Amino acid sequence: MRTVDPAKHAAKRRAIVDAAAGCFAEKGLERTTTADICRAAGISSGSLFHYFPSKRAVFTAIFEEDAVETAARLAAAAEADDPWAALLDVVTELAGQLAHPAVARLVLEAAAQAARDDEFAHLIHRNDGALRDGLAVLVEQAADAGLIDPGIPSRAAAGWVAGLLDAIISRASLDPDLDRAAELAILRTILVRFLRPVSSPDGG
């Protein structure tokens, strides 16, 4: 009996998801065909359907896998010695990813899909809640360490930080020539001025 190597199976599945993400970002979910995905991934349609039952399943997998990766980033940040630096770093890392025009288009496509697909909308809502929860943990840790203004509720602050990440998506989708490095530097400055205690001498 033929056995499946879990590592190879996962790697192939991820390669298909990555290739499909580029197709969906370029053409959208509705206009992307399974043939497009197969061509981008260098596989046959039979191979595609061995890993995914439908085009929608491939699209959904993009955001399922992203949620796992984001959760791992947030969990690692929560274990850091300096919660303030960890918060700045993880938000900057996420923003840097979202500031890529292709990623921004993909996220906007997800929003459109969520408007017509209740099951997918639940996934996106769950992912957003998990992001806010993870950010709130980091904010609370930094506040407990005296590194963030304790007068700002952690959950509310996390919501505003998540809103800044949403703003990055909008800016990247509207301006393909966006200077990502400059935007990320501005984002960090905004976070410092928003969250740091007023009495902080340098805000850094």
Lowest mean pLDDT across 23-27, 69-73, 134-138, 150-154: 150-154
Has this prediction a pTM greater than 0.75? yes
pLDDT at residue 199, as a whole number: 58
Whether 63 contacts 110, CB under 8 Å: yes
Burial class of residue 32 (count of CB atoms within 10 Å of its CB; 0-12, 13-18, 19+): buried
Q: No. of H helices and E strands in the chain?
A: 9, 0
Spell out the residues 6+ positions from residue 120 whose beta carbon is closer than 8 angstroms to its own.
56, 60, 110, 113, 114
Q: What percentage of the chain exceeds 90 in pLDDT? A: 83
3-state secondary structure of 204: coil
Q: What percentage of the chain exceeds 70 in pLDDT? A: 95
Burial class of residue 176 (count of CB atoms within 10 Å of its CB; 0-12, 13-18, 19+): exposed
pLDDT tens, position by position, 31-74: 999 999 999 999 999 999 999 999 999 999 999 999 999 999 99
Whether 89 contacts 77, CB under 8 Å: yes
E-state strands within 39-152: none
DSSP classification of residue 179: -
Tell me the mean pLDDT in the region 108-126.
96
The residue among 198 and 13 whose pLDDT is bigger is: 13
Tell me the mean pLDDT in the region 109-129.
96
pLDDT tens, position by position, 141-171: 999 999 999 888 999 999 999 999 999 998 8
> Considering the domain 62-195 in this protein, what is its CATH number?
1.10.357.10
Residue ranges per structural domain of the chain: 62-195
Q: Tell me the C-alpha distance between 52 and 30, whole Å.
A: 17
- Taken in order 126, 83, 142, 189, the sign of the CA dihedral is negative
